[in-house]
Structure 1
Amino acid sequence: MNIKKTLIGGAAALGLSTSALAVNVGGVVWDPDSFFDFTSNSNLIEDLLDPGPDGVFMTADDVVDTLNGFGLVTGINGTNESAFCPSGCELTYEFGGFTVASFIPDGGGARIGFTGGWVNFYVDSATAYDPGDKSTAVDGGAPWLSLTAHETLSGIHGIMTSIDATLSTYGGGTDAGLGGGLLDVVGGAAMANFDTDTQTDGADWVFSTSFQPIPAGPTPDGLELFGTADFRGTSIPEPSSIAILGLGLLGLAGASRRRQK
Structure 2
Amino acid sequence: MKKILGLFILLLCTAFMASNVYAFSYIIKTGDYLADGAVYDSTGAVDNTSQAPPLWGSQDLSPVGTYVTPDGSPDAYAVGLIQSWDNTDTAAVNDIYWDQFASYEITFTVTGADDVLWNPGAIGGAGEFTAELYSVNTLLNIYADPTPDYDYLGGGADGGDSVLLLSLAGHDLLGTDANGTTFVYDLKSTYETSTNTYDGDVLFDVTGGLWAAYYDTNQMSDGADMELSYELSDNLDPLNPMEWDLSGNASGIGQAIPEPTTMVLFGIGLLGMAGIGRRKNS
For normalisation by structure 2, the TM-score amounts to: 0.62
Contact residue 45 and residue 223 of structure 1 kept, 8 A: no
Aligned residues: 202
Deviation per CA, 1:47-95: give whole Å up to 9, x if none: 04222672223899964131111101112223568x4467511110011
Higher mean displacement: 209-218 or 111-120: 209-218
2:168 corresponding residue in structure 1: 147
1:236 corresponding residue in structure 2: 257
1:102 corresponding residue in structure 2: 117
Cα deviation, residue 123, structure 1: 0.4
Q: Which runs of 5+ in 2 are unaligned?
A: 1-14, 58-74, 87-93, 124-128, 263-282
Equivalent residue letter for 1:51: Y
2:269 corresponding residue in structure 1: none
Report the Cα distance in structure 1 between the residues aligned to 2:119 and 2:78, rounded to whole angstroms: 23
Cα deviation, residue 144, structure 1: 1.0
Report the Cα distance in structure 2 between the residues aligned to 1:53 and 1:164, rounded to whole angstroms: 17
Which of 199, 208, 216 is the aligned partner of 2:237?
Answer: 216
Cα deviation, residue 202, structure 1: 1.4
1:54 corresponding residue in structure 2: 43
Distance 1:192 1:33, change over 3 A: closer
Q: Which runs of 5+ in 1 are unaligned?
A: 1-22, 26-30, 242-261
Distance 1:235 1:164, change over 3 A: same
Contact residue 48 and residue 175 of structure 1 kept, 8 A: no
Cα deviation, residue 156, structure 1: 7.1
Report the Cα distance in structure 2 between the residues aligned to 1:129 and 1:223, rounded to whole angstroms: 21
Matches within 5 A, 1:22-61: 37-42=25-30, 43-51=32-40, 54-57=43-46
For normalisation by structure 1, the TM-score amounts to: 0.66
Distance 1:53 1:177, change over 3 A: closer
Deviation per CA, 1:86-137: give whole Å up to 9, x if none: 75111100110011100011232211111111110000121422232223x1
Distance 1:195 1:213, change over 3 A: same
1:177 is paired with a residue whose SS is strand
1:154 is paired with a residue whose SS is strand
Report the Cα distance in structure 2 between the residues aligned to 1:143 and 1:110, rounded to whole angstroms: 34
Give me the identity figure in percent: 22
1:161 corresponding residue in structure 2: 185
Report the Cα distance in structure 2 between the residues aligned to 1:217 and 1:224, rounded to whole angstroms: 11
Equivalent residue letter for 2:220: Q
Distance 1:80 1:226, change over 3 A: farther
Distance 1:62 1:95, change over 3 A: closer
Larger relative contact order, structure 1 or 2 (CA cutoff 8 Å, min sep 6): 2
What is the root-mean-square deviation in Å for CA atoms of aligned residues?
A: 3.2
Which of 158, 161, 164 is the aligned partner of 1:138?
Answer: 158
2:46 is paired with a residue whose SS is coil
Report the Cα distance in structure 1 between the residues aligned to 2:23 and 2:229, rounded to whole angstroms: 23
1:132 is paired with a residue whose SS is helix
Report the Cα distance in structure 1 between the residues aligned to 2:100 and 2:215, rounded to whole angstroms: 18
1:255 corresponding residue in structure 2: none
